Amino acid sequence: MRLLLTAPLLCLLLGGVAAAEPDAPTPYPDAKDGAAWPGTGPIRSFDWMAHNRAAFWKRRATDQGAIVFVGDSLTGNWKQADFTAAFPGLKVANRGIGGDVTRGVLFRLDEDVVALKPAAMVLCIGTNDLSCHAPTVGIMANISAIIDQARKPDPKLPVVLCTIPPREAANAPTKPGALKDLNERITAYAKGKPDLVLLDLHALLSGPDGALIPENFAKDRIHLAGPGYAAWATALQPILAKLVPAR
Domains of the chain: 39-243 (3.40.50.1110)
Please give the pLDDT value at position 8: 41
By CB neighbour count within 10 A (0-12 exposed, 13-18 middle, 19+ buried), where does 172 fall?
middle
Please give the pLDDT value at position 23: 87
0.85 surpassed by pTM: yes
Angle at 150 between CA 144 and CA 152, to 5 degrees: 105
Please give the pLDDT value at position 245: 76
CA dist., res. 161 & res. 25, Å (int)? 25
Q: How confident is the model at residue 184 (pLDDT cuts 50, 70, 90)?
A: very high
**Is the pLDDT score of 83 beyond 70?**
yes
**Is the pLDDT score of 219 beyond 50?**
yes
Please give the pLDDT value at position 7: 43
Mean pLDDT calculated for residue range 178-185: 98
Look up residue 216 and give its DSSP letter: G
Helices and strands in the chain, H and E counts: 10, 5
The percentage of residues in the chain with a pLDDT greater than 70, rounded to a whole number, is 91
Angle at 39 between CA 180 and CA 224, to 5 degrees: 45
